[in-house]
Amino acid sequence: MSDNVLDQNVLDSAQDFSYPQRFQELMDNGYTVDIGQTLNKAWAVLNKDIGSFIGYTAILLAINVVLGLIPFVGSLASIVLNAPLGIGFAIVTSKILNDEPYTFNDFFKGFDYVGQLFLGGLVSGIFVIIGCFLLLIPGIYLGIAYSWVSIIIVFAGYEFWDAMETSRKVITKKWFWFLLFMFVFGLINVAGALVCGLGLLITMPLTSIAMFVLFNDIVHGGVSSDLPTKDHEFSS
């Protein structure tokens, strides 16, 4: 993809932007989910720094393999680490969409929000598991509906419960489109796994990038969002 795909995203967010107001508008009025456009933009972002995205994915996979070898403690550590590590893709994607300088360390900025991310992942995960025991369908519904919890915690500055409820309510408005989104990217990851598993080094970051691109396009209308922190300038 050419850089033109991203040109519309390098504008700064409006200073008077209100997440609560925007989320309410989306709940009231609905929105459009464009999977094809999201895939194109995500691919363009990935190609901006494919080496870093692949490297970070390899680190995440290695961490999970090592933790999986440690009984009990490894499982607990995985629960704590997965959300702050996973949101790293979105943080760097935001930098790229905003044409901001960043370093590889920015992939790990999710640890600045580790408490709320851990709680959000833990509680939403428990609800999904309970839902799966209740004839499976409630679990599938919640698994999709909670897709934006970590993104809302980091980028909108919400606490975990408000992020869970906001994600659920906004996504429910177009839930079947999000299900289709998950299905499409699920197939992409299956294809990646078939290439001796090495394809996952590309398809996994592509999926995470796409989820943030979708959030950005829906919530900000294609205008990029920044982290709600005091300083976004990092040396490259």
Which of 1-15, 52-66, 149-163 has the weakest average pLDDT?
Answer: 1-15
The Cα–Cα gap between 9 and 29 comes to: 23
pLDDT for 236 equals 31
- What is this structure's pTM? 0.88
Say which DSSP state 84 is in. Answer: H
Q: What confidence tier does 235 reach under pLDDT thresholds 50, 70, 90?
A: very low
Distances (CA, A) of 25 to 19, 22, 112, 120, 158: 10, 5, 29, 24, 17
Mean pLDDT, residues 135-139: 92
Q: What confidence tier does 196 reach under pLDDT thresholds 50, 70, 90?
A: confident
Both structure tokens of 217: 């396009």
Say what percent of the chain tops pLDDT 70.
87
Is residue 82 pLDDT above 50, yes or no? Answer: yes
Is residue 123 pLDDT above 80, yes or no? Answer: yes
Is residue 141 pLDDT above 60, yes or no? Answer: yes
pLDDT for 75 equals 86
pLDDT mean across residues, the chain: 89
Mean pLDDT, residues 2-24: 63
Mean pLDDT, residues 196-201: 90
- C-alpha torsion 10→13→14→20, nearest 10: 150
pLDDT for 13 equals 42
Say what percent of the chain tops pLDDT 90.
80
